[in-house]
Amino acid sequence: MAEEKNNPEIQEVAGMDASSQPAPSEQQQNPEQFLKEFNWHNYEEGIDPIDDGKLDEFERLVEENFVDTLDDEVVEGTVINITDRDAIIDINAKSEGVISLNEFRYNPNLAVGDKVEVLIDVREDATGQLILSHRKARVIKAWDRVNKAHEEGTIVNGFVKCRTKGGMIVDVFGIEAFLPGSQIDVKPIRDYDAYVNKTMEFKVVKINHEFKNVVVSHKALIEADIEEQKKEIIGQLEKGQVLEGVVKNITSYGVFVDLGGVDGLVHITDLSWSRINHPNEIVELDQKLNVVILDFDEAKTRIQLGLKQLNKHPWEALDADLKVGDKVKGKVVVIADYGAFIEVAEGVEGLIHVSEMSWSTHLRSAQDFVNVGDEVEAQILTLDREERKMSLGIKQLTPDPWTDITTKYPVGSRHTGIVRNFTNFGVFVELEEGIDGLIYISDLSWTKKIKHPSEFCNVGDKLDVVVLELDVDGRKLSLGHKQTEENPWDKYEQDFAVGTKHTATIADVVSKGATIEFNEDITAFVPTRHLEKEDGTKLGKGDEAEFVIIEFNKEFKRVVASHMSIHKEEEAKIVTQAAKKAQEENKPTIGDANADLQALKDKMEGKN
């Protein structure tokens, strides 16, 4: 009751009649104070009886002055006390709320009286305490702010927390957003760490509500200004104008130069009059240099720059006394299959065709003679200053080997050469650098029948040759390999003359006869009818017999033999002898001849 005495508002409510019409009380003049000091516990316990009319008035005041704790909306509260673990927040409800200090780690300077946004997390816990969440309120409000910034295109502040793959993580309103590396600045970034722990302005460029992803850009803020600045600068440009710039980026195809708010490109071909493999051979990052305006496109804000154009063209500075026939030195800068380009002065190149690298008529690749970077000496063959073309030759620095060819390689002389390549009709053999000769396939061997030169030798083999013909004007040599040995067919022509007899074995039977091998060079052909034996049967594969040569052609290496002629020859001799005898004795010959033939037959059959 002591509390009642000390609380005049409650006394007034308890002592008044429902039908009375009192003057405005303190509770009506200051309802918030009345509601805060109202002892709800005493009322529930029945300690302080309240008139129904006054209770209705109390509920009306509660509805008008206290927030609805069942609503999930974010409300603003005031910090009224801070303990070791919690912050006590007044949100103008029936009771104060509690928030763990862990939710204020981002704000270590939190103090009594600060305004904070909260969300009613649990209406009341077991002790009747109102539980609030500042973190959830921040998240909800943060997404509202992010969505609004994205829709309206407004600028937001963000704190760069750390690096990540492809960019940076930025804290925007408490939400972790992704800042791609390409969206940090309009110029390429070489040191990402320089942006960590910095607060910067950003524009929200993309939101994925499904995955709760936010993408921001700092580059977007300055691009619009840069585009306007570019148009203004480009509008003041003129072709041929020389400007100072700073190398901003180097690529394989050229160099980007910052001209003070607008970038221009120096293509790799406009960096130097000489050939270069990469722009970093000429310039380096952040280097200051003068460039000349070659062309620009106001609509696309593109500027084409040149560096080499600041110097006089090398062909114009070429020695005026240089002429055809002079010797020059230079470095090999490019090699192609057809030749090599030699830089004889900065920006001045001459071509050495592969045919001018050696006196040899056997063309090879230029890489067989020179390599990129080699220092070579050459002779000027052609020089066109207007077309800026020059052809050079290396072989002209050495004597032409065909000058005294008749002395070094007379017809009939023997030499050793190297097989360089094949054709279907022969082999090219190099006797020395610049001297090649051809061996026709028919001049490779006396005895072997060769269909293609690769059956006889390989590229790179050494071959002994004899000069058969020499054409000085046509620069042609005809060589022979088989002529280095005696022709075995000269001897075979005597040993296997027509009528000579030899014993051999049937090596193979073919459709029109059979073949027999007398030695490794001579394979003879036996027609089918000449395979007949004396008893009328025919010789077969593997049979050994005596043969007589009936044809020998040395030119075509053709030999024909016969077994049948062996026993037919015996019969012919008997008939001839019987006729001669009958002529001498003046007697009939047919019977005698038949008798002699029968005797010969019986003898061969083993009869007495």
Is residue 321 situated within a structural domain? no
**Whether residue 18 has pLDDT greater than 50:** no
| Residue range 370-381: mean pLDDT, rounded | 89
Is residue 355 situated within a structural domain? yes
Which among 246, 277, 310 is the end of a domain? Answer: 310
Q: Give, to the nearest 10 degrees, the angle between helix 590-605 and helix 564-585.
A: 140
Q: What is the pLDDT of residue 55?
A: 57
Q: What is the pLDDT of residue 66?
A: 45
Is residue 516 situated within a structural domain? yes
**Whether residue 139 has pLDDT greater than 60:** yes
161 and 213 together in one domain: yes
- How does residue 6 score in pLDDT terms, banded at 50, 70 and 90? very low
The 3 state secondary structure assigned to 150-197 is: HHHCCEEEEEEEEEECCEEEEEECCEEEEEEHHHCCCCCCCCHHHHCC
The 3 state secondary structure assigned to 141-157 is: HHHHHHHHHHHHCCEEE
The residue that leads in pLDDT, 606 or 553, is: 553
Q: What is the pLDDT of residue 256?
A: 92
Q: What is the pLDDT of residue 267?
A: 92
Structurally, how many domains does the chain consist of?
8
- How far apart CA 298 and CA 304 sit, in angstroms, is 12
478 and 409 together in one domain: yes
478 and 492 together in one domain: no
Q: What is the pLDDT of residue 337?
A: 82
411 and 480 together in one domain: yes
**Whether residue 245 has pLDDT greater than 60:** yes
Is residue 296 situated within a structural domain? yes
Is residue 197 situated within a structural domain? yes
Range scoring the smallest mean pLDDT among 116-125, 141-150, 534-543: 116-125
**Whether residue 229 has pLDDT greater than 80:** no
- The length of the chain in residues reads 608
**Whether residue 17 has pLDDT greater than 60:** no
**Whether residue 400 has pLDDT greater than 60:** yes
Answering whether pTM is above 0.75, one says no
**Whether residue 573 has pLDDT greater than 70:** no
Which among 432, 459, 484 is the end of a domain? Answer: 484
Q: What is the pLDDT of residue 392?
A: 92
The residue that leads in pLDDT, 571 or 159, is: 159
The residue that leads in pLDDT, 495 or 265, is: 265
Q: What is the pLDDT of residue 50?
A: 58
492 and 558 together in one domain: yes
448 and 470 together in one domain: yes
- How does residue 5 score in pLDDT terms, banded at 50, 70 and 90? very low
Q: Which two tokens stand for residue 180?
A: 């791609």
306 and 259 together in one domain: yes
What range defines the domain where residue 577 resides?
Answer: 568-605
Is residue 300 situated within a structural domain? yes
Calculate what percentage of the chain has a pLDDT beyond 70: 78
Helix (H) or strand (E) holding 597: helix 590-605
- How far apart CA 367 and CA 346 sit, in angstroms, is 23
The residue that leads in pLDDT, 131 or 604, is: 131
| Residue range 127-147: mean pLDDT, rounded | 74
Reported as a single tens digit per residue, the pLDDT across 277-330 is 899 888 999 899 999 988 887 666 678 899 888 888 888 777 888 888 889 898
Reported as a single tens digit per residue, the pLDDT across 143-161 is 888 888 888 878 888 899 8
Q: Which of 445, 438, 446 is nearest to 422 (CA)?
A: 438
Which of 79-93, 462-476, 582-596 holds the top average pLDDT? Answer: 462-476
Q: What is the pLDDT of residue 597?
A: 55
Range scoring the smallest mean pLDDT among 59-68, 113-122, 164-173, 336-345: 59-68
- How does residue 603 score in pLDDT terms, banded at 50, 70 and 90? low
- How far apart CA 89 and CA 111 sit, in angstroms, is 11
512 and 543 together in one domain: yes
- How far apart CA 148 and CA 150 sit, in angstroms, is 5
| Residue range 415-419: mean pLDDT, rounded | 90
- How does residue 570 score in pLDDT terms, banded at 50, 70 and 90? low
Is residue 273 situated within a structural domain? yes
CATH code where residue 241 lies: 2.40.50.140
**Whether residue 333 has pLDDT greater than 50:** yes
492 and 480 together in one domain: no
Write down the mean pLDDT value for the chain. Answer: 78
391 and 435 together in one domain: no
242 and 285 together in one domain: yes
Reported as a single tens digit per residue, the pLDDT across 288-298 is 999 998 888 76
Q: Which of 584, 581, 605, 608 is nearest to 592 (CA)?
A: 581
Q: Where are the beta strands (DSSP E) in 394-456?
A: 414-423, 426-432, 435-440
557 and 573 together in one domain: no
- How far apart CA 249 and CA 509 sit, in angstroms, is 84
- How does residue 21 score in pLDDT terms, banded at 50, 70 and 90? very low
Q: What is the pLDDT of residue 248?
A: 87
Which among 484, 500, 516 is the end of a domain? Answer: 484
Is residue 145 situated within a structural domain? no
Q: What is the pLDDT of residue 62?
A: 47
Q: What is the pLDDT of residue 479?
A: 92
| Residue range 419-424: mean pLDDT, rounded | 88
